[in-house]
Amino acid sequence: MKVLLPPVLLAFLWGGCSAQEALSPKTIQTGAEVLVEEHLAELDGQRVGLLMNPTSRVDGVHMVDTLLNLGVNVTALYAAEHGFRGEAGAGEVIEDGVDQETGLPVHSLYGKTKKPTSEMLEDIDILLFDLPDMGVRFYTYNVTLGLALEAIAENGKELWVLDRPNPLGGESVAGWILQDQYKSFVGAYPIPIVYGLTMGEIAHMAVGEGWLSLPTEPDFKVIKAKGWKRDMRWPDTGLEWVAPSPNLPSFEHVFAYVGTVIFEGTNISEGRGTSDPFLQIGAPGMNFQADELEILEQRHNVQLDSITFTPKSIPGKAISPKFEGEICQGIRISFDGNYQQTDPLMLGLDLLLFAQDHTKDFAIKPFASNLFGIDLKSIIEKKESIPSWENDVQTFRHQREAYLLYK
């Protein structure tokens, strides 16, 4: 007979914390934690699918293991970019398979198809969605959410979004609204680069604003996080950071990623293949004096250091990174916990302009325009002024107001 253990005891036995720590109330709870505490009875008699990744945990235990031990009838798992257990690097194709820990089937949503098919959904009634938002348009999980909403509407299923804090906070909005010609899997909605919404809010807005292809109103609900306020960034939440993908091991990496991701669209290394992707950029042909960084340091309230690094192939994290095995001259970024006085998007753009001026044979690719949603390639190549996004931000702030779930 299967013994069902309460989450607190599971945390004590599996999570390595003390009984007192397990019993201590949390200021902020994720939607997954709220589900376990308040909504389990609603899953009785239901076949449940999980669209999750390694961040989907309660008291340190992955949600699939938690729910199975609580008697929930989990029948299928779904893997977005990076995989259900987080075993794949950026862009690596995910294959259908079997979860080795549970024996459950894993359906890939980052391979031949990125949208759940009728066959993938036939063994479930409810799909629990718990993928982390990084607060930026080009992080692909918000697009996966939209495709899941379309699929459940087409197949008469139900979807629950287990909401969680936006790590960049709910007040940070920056960047241009995506232009139609640059729609892709790294940008599908007409929203700024940094939008200050949770996944639950994105779900409501995507449906309410008609951004999705829906045959009928999708049957979905949001299980809200508790205790989160819009002005909180991740360090304010007190929640443990679990890497949402292999190249974002800390919040500092995510904060830099907001801007330095643009180097993915250039022939400059964004630091993949090192221990600090997105916190360092460089190339063999980059050449500058350390004191040339002082203006950028003062403008952005960051520390910028001249460094050298050699990218290498790291299984599950960076396969064949740019300049593999070559010594790169570059820049190391450090925020020293100061996230309030820096706009990481503007920092990334200024570093891009700096790299253009200090790198032999610098090149920007069309992918840069897909990432930032405007014709950035042309602007950079012609050395035109970076256009303001103030009007886009004001328009979006007004548009999103009806969909905000947190104050």
Give 293-339 pLDDT, tens digit per residue: 999 999 999 999 999 999 999 988 899 999 999 999 999 999 998 89
Residue 170 in any domain: the answer is: yes
159, 273: one domain: no
Confidence label for 26 from pLDDT (cuts 50, 70 and 90): low
Residue 395 in any domain: the answer is: no
Confidence label for 85 from pLDDT (cuts 50, 70 and 90): confident
- Name the residue with tokens 């918000």: 142
229, 347: one domain: no
pLDDT at 86: 64
Helix, strand, coil percentages in the chain from 3-state DSSP, rounded to 5: 35, 15, 50
CATH number of the domain bearing residue 13: 3.40.50.12170
278, 236: one domain: no
122, 168: one domain: yes
Confidence label for 381 from pLDDT (cuts 50, 70 and 90): very high
pLDDT at 5: 45
Confidence label for 100 from pLDDT (cuts 50, 70 and 90): confident
Mean pLDDT of 346-352: 98
Mean pLDDT of 165-192: 98
211, 312: one domain: no
pLDDT at 93: 64
C-beta separation of 358 from 287 below 8 A: yes
Percent of the chain scored above 90 by pLDDT? 86
342, 209: one domain: no
Residue 79 in any domain: the answer is: yes
Q: Is the pLDDT of residue 58 over 60?
A: yes
111, 205: one domain: yes
Handedness of CA 282, 288, 294, 298 (dihedral sign): negative
Q: Is the pLDDT of residue 21 over 90?
A: no
Tally the domains of the chain. Answer: 2
Residue 30 in any domain: the answer is: yes
| Final residue in a domain of this structure, among 348, 363, 378 | 363
Task: Compute the distance between CA of residue 164 and CA of residue 135 in angstroms, rounded to an integer.
Answer: 11
Confidence label for 16 from pLDDT (cuts 50, 70 and 90): very low
176, 325: one domain: no
The CA-atom distances, in angstroms, between 202 and each of 8, 35, 36, 195, 344 are 31, 19, 23, 9, 22
Residue 358 in any domain: the answer is: yes
Residue 405 in any domain: the answer is: no
Q: Is the pLDDT of residue 24 over 80?
A: no
Task: Compute the distance between CA of residue 136 and CA of residue 259 in angstroms, rounded to an integer.
Answer: 10
224, 292: one domain: no
The CA-atom distances, in angstroms, between 133 and each of 267, 285, 320 are 27, 35, 27
- Where helices occur in 29-140 by DSSP H, the ranges are 31-38, 63-69, 118-121
115, 188: one domain: yes
pLDDT at 22: 40
Pairing of strands 105-108, 126-130: unpaired
235, 274: one domain: no
SS3 311: coil
pLDDT at 83: 83
Residue 199 in any domain: the answer is: yes
222, 153: one domain: yes
The whole-model pTM stands at 0.91
Read off φ and ψ for residue 283, nearest 5 degrees.
-165, 160
C-beta separation of 64 from 48 below 8 A: no
The candidate with the shortest Cα–Cα distance to 329, out of 298, 296, 305, 349, is 305
Candidate from 19-23, 137-141, 205-209, 362-366 with smallest mean pLDDT: 19-23
Q: Is the pLDDT of residue 242 over 50?
A: yes
Task: Compute the distance between CA of residue 230 and CA of residue 272 in angstroms, rounded to an integer.
Answer: 31
* CB-count exposure of residue 9 (10 Å: 0-12, 13-18, 19+): middle
Domain with 322 in it = 267-363
Residue 162 in any domain: the answer is: yes
Confidence label for 87 from pLDDT (cuts 50, 70 and 90): low
